[in-house]
Amino acid sequence: MIQDMHFMLQKEVVERITADVGSKTYGRLSVIMQYHCHTDYLLTVPRGAFNPPPKVTSAVFRLTPHITKPVVAEDEEYFALVVRETFNHRRKTLRAIFKKSTLLPTLSEEDFAACSIDPQARPEVLSVKDFVNLSNQARKVEV
Protein backbone atom coordinates (compact mmCIF):
# COMPACT_ATOMS: atom_id res chain seq x y z
CA MET A 1 0.00 0.00 0.00
CA ILE A 2 2.78 2.46 0.89
CA GLN A 3 4.90 3.49 -2.10
CA ASP A 4 7.52 5.50 -0.23
CA MET A 5 8.12 7.32 3.02
CA HIS A 6 10.19 10.42 3.73
CA PHE A 7 11.70 11.21 7.10
CA MET A 8 13.96 13.78 8.66
CA LEU A 9 16.25 12.57 11.43
CA GLN A 10 19.62 13.39 12.92
CA LYS A 11 22.22 13.21 10.13
CA GLU A 12 24.28 10.51 11.86
CA VAL A 13 21.25 8.21 12.12
CA VAL A 14 20.38 8.72 8.45
CA GLU A 15 23.99 7.92 7.53
CA ARG A 16 23.70 4.64 9.44
CA ILE A 17 20.39 3.70 7.79
CA THR A 18 21.66 4.42 4.26
CA ALA A 19 25.26 3.16 4.74
CA ASP A 20 26.92 0.99 2.13
CA VAL A 21 28.53 -2.37 2.90
CA GLY A 22 32.04 -1.94 4.27
CA SER A 23 31.62 1.67 5.38
CA LYS A 24 32.33 2.79 8.91
CA THR A 25 28.66 3.55 9.57
CA TYR A 26 27.34 0.23 8.19
CA GLY A 27 25.79 -1.85 10.95
CA ARG A 28 22.75 -3.55 12.36
CA LEU A 29 20.41 -0.66 11.57
CA SER A 30 21.64 -0.55 7.96
CA VAL A 31 21.08 -4.27 7.39
CA ILE A 32 17.62 -4.44 8.97
CA MET A 33 16.34 -1.29 7.25
CA GLN A 34 17.77 -2.29 3.87
CA TYR A 35 16.27 -5.77 4.20
CA HIS A 36 12.79 -4.25 4.36
CA CYS A 37 13.20 -1.12 2.19
CA HIS A 38 15.38 0.57 -0.39
CA THR A 39 17.02 3.55 1.36
CA ASP A 40 18.02 6.88 -0.22
CA TYR A 41 19.89 9.74 1.47
CA LEU A 42 18.25 12.81 -0.06
CA LEU A 43 19.60 15.97 1.54
CA THR A 44 21.26 17.53 4.54
CA VAL A 45 19.32 20.17 6.47
CA PRO A 46 21.62 22.66 8.20
CA ARG A 47 21.01 23.82 11.75
CA GLY A 48 20.28 27.34 10.55
CA ALA A 49 17.14 26.12 8.78
CA PHE A 50 15.39 26.01 12.16
CA ASN A 51 14.56 28.67 14.70
CA PRO A 52 15.91 28.21 17.29
CA PRO A 53 18.72 26.18 15.69
CA PRO A 54 19.14 22.68 17.14
CA LYS A 55 22.49 21.32 18.31
CA VAL A 56 22.53 18.67 15.55
CA THR A 57 22.43 18.65 11.76
CA SER A 58 19.46 16.88 10.20
CA ALA A 59 19.03 14.90 7.00
CA VAL A 60 16.09 13.82 4.87
CA PHE A 61 15.90 10.30 3.52
CA ARG A 62 13.45 8.12 1.64
CA LEU A 63 12.39 4.55 2.40
CA THR A 64 10.79 2.62 -0.45
CA PRO A 65 9.36 -0.71 0.73
CA HIS A 66 10.38 -3.64 -1.46
CA ILE A 67 7.40 -4.86 -3.46
CA THR A 68 9.16 -8.20 -3.57
CA LYS A 69 12.18 -8.53 -1.30
CA PRO A 70 15.38 -9.23 -3.27
CA VAL A 71 16.21 -11.96 -0.74
CA VAL A 72 13.91 -13.53 1.82
CA ALA A 73 14.96 -14.95 5.16
CA GLU A 74 13.33 -18.27 6.04
CA ASP A 75 12.81 -16.95 9.58
CA GLU A 76 12.92 -13.16 9.92
CA GLU A 77 13.21 -13.24 13.71
CA TYR A 78 16.21 -15.54 13.45
CA PHE A 79 17.68 -13.30 10.73
CA ALA A 80 17.39 -10.32 13.10
CA LEU A 81 19.06 -12.38 15.86
CA VAL A 82 22.00 -13.29 13.59
CA VAL A 83 22.42 -9.64 12.55
CA ARG A 84 22.25 -8.44 16.16
CA GLU A 85 24.67 -11.03 17.50
CA THR A 86 27.24 -10.55 14.75
CA PHE A 87 27.26 -6.76 15.07
CA ASN A 88 27.50 -7.05 18.87
CA HIS A 89 30.96 -8.49 18.14
CA ARG A 90 31.79 -6.51 15.01
CA ARG A 91 35.56 -6.63 15.53
CA LYS A 92 35.61 -10.45 15.62
CA THR A 93 35.60 -12.77 12.64
CA LEU A 94 32.43 -14.64 11.76
CA ARG A 95 34.08 -17.95 12.68
CA ALA A 96 34.83 -16.63 16.19
CA ILE A 97 31.38 -15.11 16.60
CA PHE A 98 29.59 -18.34 15.71
CA LYS A 99 31.99 -20.39 17.81
CA LYS A 100 31.68 -18.32 21.02
CA SER A 101 28.04 -17.20 20.88
CA THR A 102 25.58 -18.94 23.16
CA LEU A 103 22.69 -17.85 20.92
CA LEU A 104 24.12 -19.02 17.59
CA PRO A 105 25.24 -22.49 16.47
CA THR A 106 28.86 -23.28 15.65
CA LEU A 107 29.25 -23.28 11.88
CA SER A 108 31.70 -25.51 10.04
CA GLU A 109 33.84 -24.51 7.06
CA GLU A 110 31.29 -26.31 4.87
CA ASP A 111 28.46 -24.23 6.33
CA PHE A 112 30.28 -20.99 5.50
CA ALA A 113 31.15 -22.35 2.04
CA ALA A 114 27.50 -23.28 1.44
CA CYS A 115 26.58 -19.61 1.69
CA SER A 116 29.75 -18.36 -0.08
CA ILE A 117 31.00 -16.45 2.96
CA ASP A 118 34.57 -16.24 4.17
CA PRO A 119 34.65 -17.33 7.84
CA GLN A 120 37.51 -14.84 8.39
CA ALA A 121 35.27 -11.93 7.31
CA ARG A 122 33.88 -9.43 9.76
CA PRO A 123 30.18 -8.46 9.89
CA GLU A 124 30.62 -5.04 8.24
CA VAL A 125 31.67 -6.63 4.93
CA LEU A 126 28.52 -8.78 4.56
CA SER A 127 25.70 -7.56 2.35
CA VAL A 128 22.04 -7.97 3.28
CA LYS A 129 21.95 -10.99 0.95
CA ASP A 130 24.97 -12.48 2.75
CA PHE A 131 23.24 -12.05 6.12
CA VAL A 132 20.09 -13.73 4.81
CA ASN A 133 22.11 -16.66 3.43
CA LEU A 134 24.09 -16.91 6.68
CA SER A 135 20.97 -16.88 8.87
CA ASN A 136 19.25 -19.46 6.65
CA GLN A 137 22.32 -21.74 6.90
CA ALA A 138 22.70 -21.23 10.66
CA ARG A 139 19.01 -22.01 11.15
CA LYS A 140 19.46 -25.33 9.27
CA VAL A 141 22.43 -26.23 11.49
CA GLU A 142 20.53 -25.35 14.67
CA VAL A 143 17.46 -27.44 13.82
**What domains can you pick out in the chain, each with its CATH number?**
5-65 (no CATH), 76-142 (1.10.8.100)
* pLDDT tens profile 26-57: 999 999 999 999 999 999 999 999 999 999 99
Task: Place 1 in a pLDDT band, splitting at 50, 70 and 90.
Answer: confident
> Cβ(25)–Cβ(19) under 8 Å?
yes
Q: What pLDDT does residue 143 have? A: 66
Half-sphere exposure (Cβ direction) of 19: Cα atoms closer than 13 Å: 23
Amino acid making up residue 10: Q
Look at residue 107 and tell me whether its pLDDT is greater than 80. Answer: yes
pLDDT (mean) for 76-99: 96
pLDDT (mean) for 5-18: 98
Q: What pLDDT does residue 142 have? A: 77
